């Protein structure tokens, strides 16, 4: 099996009309097994508003947010017939997995299992943990060679702590980076500026 890749699709891209076409072009540029984790987008924003209005606990909001990620993953799966749903605790790929397989991850079950086993100790059950940190932890647990963060903007700084300070990633992300060994290659990609590679002559 080739080196698996985890792609984190930012929630800010979910309302982009070009998403189905550009995402298909993007994933088609890889030959390795690939899984996609989707952020909560405006659905998570609605949950934040609920939390602030009704003063629900941080932990209860955290678990609701994981269910929102299940929902947005299911929505994105509907965009492409090549996308395969996956809600398992263990990685979807195996030594016999063919290349170019693409799974859409519904993460709530994996997170619930991580909470039971204690392997989520670096993922606070609060709003400080977003889908970026969940993707990083998942990429590590599943031994992914790369984590590709698909965003709506260019990376504001080469320093992850500065990206967290400006709100472009969550504050937990730089902390988790320091706990992972070996560390997958982490790359920030502005999907709105993606240009498909030219086909070989």
Examine residue 201 and state whether it is found in any structural domain, yes or no: no
What is the reported pLDDT for 201? Answer: 53
Q: What is the domain-level CATH number for residue 189?
A: 3.40.1160.10
Report if residue 60 sits inside a domain.
yes
Residue 198 lies in a domain: no
Domain assignment of residue 41, yes or no: yes
Could you report the per-residue pLDDT of 75-132, keeping only the tens digit for each?
Answer: 999 999 999 999 999 999 976 666 678 999 999 999 999 999 998 888 999 999 999 9
- Residue 157, pLDDT score: 97
- Report the pLDDT value the prediction gives residue 99, as an integer from 0 to 100: 64
pTM, two decimal places: 0.93
Question: Is 200 a domain residue?
Answer: no
SS3 194: coil
| CA dist., res. 167 & res. 170, Å (int) | 6
Give the helix ranges, DSSP H, for 40-197: 41-54, 58-77, 108-117, 131-141, 160-165, 172-177
User: How many separate domains does the chain show?
Assistant: 1
Between the two ends of the chain, the Cα-to-Cα distance in Å is 27
Spans of the chain below 50 pLDDT: none
Name the residue range of residue 132's domain: 5-193
- Answer whether residue 152 is part of any domain: yes
């Amino acid at each position: 099996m080739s080196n698996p890749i985890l792609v984190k699709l930012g929630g800010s891209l979910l309302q982009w009309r070009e998403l189905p076409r550009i995402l298909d072009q993007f994933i088609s540029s890889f030959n390795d097994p690939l899984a996609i984790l989707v952020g909560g987008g405006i659905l998570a924003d609605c949950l934040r508003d609920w939390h602030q209005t009704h003063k629900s606990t941080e932990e209860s909001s955290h678990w609701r947010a994981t269910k929102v990620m299940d929902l947005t993953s299911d929505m994105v799966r509907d965009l492409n017939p090549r996308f395969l749903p996956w809600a398992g605790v263990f990685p979807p790929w195996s030594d016999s997995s063919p290349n170019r397989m693409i799974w859409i991850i519904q993460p709530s079950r994996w997170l619930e299992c991580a909470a039971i086993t204690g392997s989520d100790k670096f993922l606070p059950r609060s709003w400080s943990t977003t889908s970026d940190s969940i993707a990083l932890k998942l990429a590590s647990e599943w031994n992914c060679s790369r984590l590709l963060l698909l965003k709506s903007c260019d990376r504001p700084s080469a320093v992850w702590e500065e990206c967290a300070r400006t709100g472009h990633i969550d504050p937990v992300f730089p902390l988790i980076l320091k706990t992972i060994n070996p560390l997958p290659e982490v790359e920030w990609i502005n999907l709105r500026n993606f240009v498909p590679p030219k086909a070989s002559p």
